[in-house]
């Protein structure tokens, strides 16, 4: 095995240690680490596969490892657990990696980290698994559906329990299966500079598998993309890498050329830039965010896309005071439980109480948004989660207090497949093959 491949595996273990032990977020530290790394593009791809794959299947892997680990696996050193997880992930899920290589490199990394005892332990656990993996018995779904789904599909039991109550057995399994697939990447065409047809032609010439979105005219879905940011078309601002589901909220606003819109929680700016494209250079998008570094990222994205309508503003959306405005997007901070296919670490970081804690923040920002909206104006509230406490229940409570606000149930700007009988708009991952989001269009009728 080449030294660089061993470095890739070691890098993956170190990244997982930072994510699992230090609480860092995968979507931030992985790209930052790889950007500074001297690994080859092939080894960077291996790091991505190992980190994201291990995170997706961590619960499943840990359950198996406990069957072969002599002693208390939970209380063993974190680095040792990460080495075992990465090694077992390769053996169990990666056909292109020879099993002997996964074991050998895992042992070498273990020896470097913990000496001969760690190396011997890792070798023993992995060899024992290889000898008897076909005889492993998992929890039975008939007798214990929560444990069975949690173990087989690698999701925390508390989340499986919630989804079983809401979606039923079959749909819960489909939801988990969607989250465990390597996600397709989607991008939004910058219609100010090109067309979806032109981009599709360019991708075809480059050997990139691409197809139009089923639901949104300016979106394209990509399979096996490689590093899209290296393409001249990306660097020249012809597209933004962005999930299709993000278009639900921006389309509900029904923006026109020259409109002014307030984006209350704007960074990193995917929806902001979409709105900037829609309102044009004569319009204005006031983009508010509480973090300077995230606003800087937003401004970089806007500059790359050639958008002149975006005005970045540092501030707390729950307190900021601005002149009243006709159109507001509140893409609220949330649990993120609708984006677990792309953010696998969130399923392990989130706890039940987090849903209720973030709800308090959502309510405060929504109250301020209502205060800033003009009479007759439009407010779109959205999240990237499908948990009712952050969505339907929160909106129902808001409407009881604010009788002047009404739900606009008949928007013609969004595909009807996303509509609900209550007038809300949701994308369901296992049904629509995209992230799970919620959106509602509220009108200030007073």
Number of domains in the chain: 4
CATH number for the domain spanning 266: value is: 3.40.50.150
Q: Is 176 a catalytic residue?
A: no
140 assigned to some structural domain: no
Residue 446 DSSP SS3: coil
Q: Are residues 357 and 248 in the same domain?
A: yes
- 233 and 260 share a domain? no
> Within a domain: residue 143?
no
Does one domain contain both 37 and 125?
Answer: yes
- Pick the closest to residue 326 from 369, 382, 268, 292 (CA basis): 369
Q: Under a CB-based contact definition with an 8 Å cutoff, are residues 319 and 293 in contact? A: no
Domain assignment of residue 269, given as a range: 244-444
The span from the first CA to the last CA of the chain, in angstroms, equals 70
378 found inside a domain: yes
What are the pLDDT digits (tens) for 380-390?
A: 999 999 999 99
Q: Which of 79-83, 408-412, 436-440 has the lowest mean pLDDT?
A: 408-412
Give yes or no: residues 226 and 254 share one domain: no
CB atoms within 10 A of CB 389: 14
Q: Which residue has the higher pLDDT, 129 or 34?
A: 129
Residue 163's H or E segment, with its range, is helix 157-167
Residues 83-97, mean pLDDT to the nearest whole number:
95
Does one domain contain both 278 and 330?
yes
In this prediction, residue 6 carries a pLDDT of 65
Q: Say if residue 268 is preceded by a cis peptide, omega within 30 of 0.
A: yes
**For residue 410, what are its two tokens?**
């008949």
| 251 has pLDDT over 50 | yes
Q: What is the pLDDT of residue 277?
A: 96
Residue 142 lies inside a defined structural domain of this protein: no
Q: Is the pLDDT of residue 204 over 50?
A: yes
Same domain for 384 and 289: yes
Q: Is the pLDDT of residue 350 over 90?
A: yes
pLDDT for residue 83: 97
Q: Give yes or no for residue 250 having a pLDDT over 80.
A: yes
Q: Please check whether residues 236 and 116 belong to one and the same domain.
A: no
The enclosing H or E element of 444 equals strand 437-444
| Same domain flag for 212 and 301 | no
**pLDDT value, residue 5:** 62
Give pLDDT tens digits for 266-309. 998 999 999 999 999 999 999 999 999 999 999 999 999 999 99
Answer yes or no: do 160 and 228 share one domain: no
Task: Give the predicted TM-score (pTM) of the model.
Answer: 0.94
Dump the DSSP string for 212-261. Answer: E-SS-TTEEEEES---GGGSHHHHTTSEEE--GGGHHHHHHTT--TT-EE
Identify whether 141 is part of a domain: no
- Active-site hit among 20, 176, 334, 384: 384
pLDDT band at 256 (very low <50, low <70, confident <90, very high): very high
Q: Do both 388 and 403 map to the same domain?
A: yes
Q: Is residue 285 part of a domain?
A: yes
pLDDT of residue 227: 80
Answer yes or no: do 170 and 100 share one domain. Answer: no
DSSP state of 22: S
Residue 348, SS3 per DSSP: helix
Phi, psi of 211 (to 5 degrees): -150, 155
List pLDDT tens digits, range 21-57: 888 888 889 988 988 888 898 899 999 999 999 999 9
Residue 413 — pLDDT band, cuts 50, 70, 90? confident
Chain centroid to Cα 178, Å, comes to: 12
pLDDT exceeds cutoff 50 at 1: no
Quote the percentage of the chain above a pLDDT of 90: 86
**Do 327 and 196 share a structural domain?**
no
337 inside domain: yes
pLDDT value at position 253? 96
């Amino acid at each position: 095995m080449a030294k660089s491949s061993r470095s890739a595996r070691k890098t993956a273990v170190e990244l997982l240690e930072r994510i699992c032990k230090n609480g860092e977020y995968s979507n931030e530290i992985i790209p930052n680490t790889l950007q500074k790394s001297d690994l080859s593009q092939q080894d960077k791809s291996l790091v991505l596969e190992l980190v994201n794959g291990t995170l997706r299947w961590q619960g499943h892997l840990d359950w198996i490892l406990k069957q072969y680990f002599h002693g208390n696996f939970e209380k063993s050193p974190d680095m040792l657990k990460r080495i075992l997880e990465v090694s077992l992930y390769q053996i169990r899920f990666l056909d292109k990696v020879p099993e002997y290589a996964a074991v050998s490199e895992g042992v070498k990394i273990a020896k470097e980290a913990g000496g001969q005892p760690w190396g011997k332990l890792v070798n023993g656990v992995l060899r024992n698994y290889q000898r008897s993996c076909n005889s492993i018995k998992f929890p039975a779904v008939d007798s214990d559906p929560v444990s069975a789904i949690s173990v087989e599909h690698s999701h925390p039991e508390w989340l499986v329990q919630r989804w079983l109550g809401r979606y039923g057995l079959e749909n819960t399994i489909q939801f988990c299966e969607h989250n465990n697939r390597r996600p397709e990447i989607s991008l939004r065409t910058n219609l100010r500079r090109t067309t979806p047809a032109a981009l599709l032609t360019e991708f075809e010439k480059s050997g990139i598998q691409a197809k139009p979105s089923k639901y949104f005219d300016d979106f394209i879905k990509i399979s096996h993309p490689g590093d899209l940011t290296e393409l001249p078309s990306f660097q020249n601002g012809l597209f933004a890498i962005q999930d299709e589901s993000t278009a639900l909220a921006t389309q509900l606003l029904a923006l026109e050329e020259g409109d002014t819109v307030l984006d209350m929680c704007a960074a990193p700016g995917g929806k902001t830039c979409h709105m900037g494209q829609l309102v044009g250079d004569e319009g204005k998008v006031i983009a508010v965010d509480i973090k300077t570094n995230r606003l800087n990222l937003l401004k970089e994205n806007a500059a790359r896309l050639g958008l002149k309508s975006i005005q970045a503003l540092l501030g707390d959306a729950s307190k900021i005071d601005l002149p009243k405005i006709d159109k507001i997007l509140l893409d609220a901070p949330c649990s993120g439980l609708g984006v677990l296919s792309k953010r696998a670490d969130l399923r392990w970081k989130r706890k039940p109480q987090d849903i209720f804690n973030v709800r308090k923040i959502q309510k405060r920002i929504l109250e301020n948004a209502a205060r800033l909206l003009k009479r007759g104006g439009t407010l779109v509230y959205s999240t990237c989660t499908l948990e009712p406490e952050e969505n339907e229940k929160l909106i129902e409570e808001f409407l009881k207090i604010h009788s002047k606000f009404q739900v606009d149930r008949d928007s013609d700007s969004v595909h009807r497949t996303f509509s609900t009988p209550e007038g809300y708009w949701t994308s369901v991952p296992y049904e629509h093959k995209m992230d799970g989001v919620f959106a509602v269009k509220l009108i200030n009728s007073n």
